[in-house]
């Protein structure tokens, strides 16, 4: 049944009186009466003149708004946690990427209280974080690693986003290539990589060669043909041609074609 405006039902009056009485009692006894449990006592950087939630035990209204406060509980929380407010407004930082624009920001969806001085305040897990919203998806070699391996400074603060910002050039090709690793590499794995630059005339797909290491076992700055053309055998075969110094293979076989060396000599 709808109560006509201006007319207050006796039941409502009773309810208001009862609430006022209980709230009064609660205030008189330091708020403990209605508290469903102790507040979190883990202290950190002071905010709003307290260094932990437990210090607010006598000031329930720091978190619990009056019914006519349109900003509700989140408004209370953000009065102290101003950085969360900023994150949500700018769609950056942890909460900025946890929540879609316009999504329900109610802190109590993911945070709790009154579970004792040492209980965690966070219910939500970071597993569902849509990291791709930063423009840097966590795929390939980045999928299974801890946040802290990349976010080494303050919690989830901005970090380098270029590959070279986090990964050093390997000895294998140090000094040879430009620093834009992503032009040749993907996050799935370092090897294989693409090689969009001009290779010397000796073809990388010579016969059954399939990886760079077939001819560059240690680093790209040096080559060796030994993995397929056994050194002892080569010494013998070249001796038959009257050749004893065979160190400069590519000098006599610049493209590895049959009879090329003889044609050149």
Is residue 262 within the footprint of ligand HEC (CB under 6 A)? Answer: yes
Residue with tokens 């390997």: 170
Query: Smallest distance, Å, CB 85 to ligand HEC?
Result: 7
The tokens of 119 are what? 């209980």
Letters for 185-224 (x = contact with ligand HEC by CB under 6 A, - = none) are xxx-xxxxx-x-x-xx-x-x-xxxx-xxxxxx---xx-x-
Query: Smallest distance, Å, CB 131 to ligand HEC?
Result: 5
Is residue 253 within the footprint of ligand HEC (CB under 6 A)? Answer: yes
* Segment 41 to 100, residues that bind ligand HEC, using CB under 6 A: 44-48, 50-53, 56-57, 60, 62-64, 73-74, 76-81, 84, 92-95, 97-99
Candidates 164, 217, 218, 236: give the one binding ligand HEC (CB under 6 A).
164
- Give the CA diameter of the chain: 119
* Segment 94 to 153, residues that bind ligand HEC, using CB under 6 A: 94-95, 97-99, 105, 107-114, 121-122, 124, 126, 129, 131, 134, 136, 138, 140-142, 145, 147, 149-151
Is residue 29 within the footprint of ligand HEC (CB under 6 A)? Answer: no
Strand partners, 189: 186
Assess contact for 131 and 144: CB atoms under 8 A: no
Query: Smallest distance, Å, CB 15 to ligand HEC?
Result: 16
| Residue 76: CA count within 13 A, CB half-sphere | 18
Residue nearer to ligand HEC on the CB measure, 3 or 210:
210
């Amino acid at each position: 049944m709808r109560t006509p405006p201006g007319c207050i039902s006796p039941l409502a009056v009773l309810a208001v009186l009862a609430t006022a009485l209980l709230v009064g009692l609660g205030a008189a006894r330091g708020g403990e009466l209605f508290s469903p449990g102790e507040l979190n006592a883990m202290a950190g950087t002071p905010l709003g003149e307290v260094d932990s939630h437990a210090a607010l035990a006598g000031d329930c209204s720091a978190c619990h708004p009056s019914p006519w406060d349109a900003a509700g509980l989140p408004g209370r929380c953000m009065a102290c946690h101003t950085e969360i407010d900023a994150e949500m407004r700018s769609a950056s930082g942890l909460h900025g990427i946890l929540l879609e624009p316009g999504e329900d920001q109610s802190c109590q969806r993911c945070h709790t209280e009154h579970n004792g001085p040492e209980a965690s305040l966070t219910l939500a897990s970071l597993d569902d974080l849509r990291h791709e919203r930063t423009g840097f998806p966590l795929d390939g070699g980045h999928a299974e690693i801890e946040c802290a391996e990349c976010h080494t400074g303050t919690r989830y603060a901005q970090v380098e986003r270029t590959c070279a910002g986090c990964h050093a050039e390997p000895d294998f090709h140090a000094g040879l290539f430009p620093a834009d690793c992503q032009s040749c590499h993907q996050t799935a794995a370092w090897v294989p990589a693409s090689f969009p630059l001009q290779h010397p005339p000796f073809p990388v797909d010579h016969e059954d060669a399939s990886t760079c290491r077939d001819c560059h076992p240690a680093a790209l700055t040096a080559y060796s043909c030994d993995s397929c053309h056994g050194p002892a055998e080569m010494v013998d075969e070249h001796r038959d041609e009257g050749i004893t110094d065979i160190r400069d293979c590519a000098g006599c076989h610049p493209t590895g074609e049959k009879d090329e060396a003889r044609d050149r000599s």
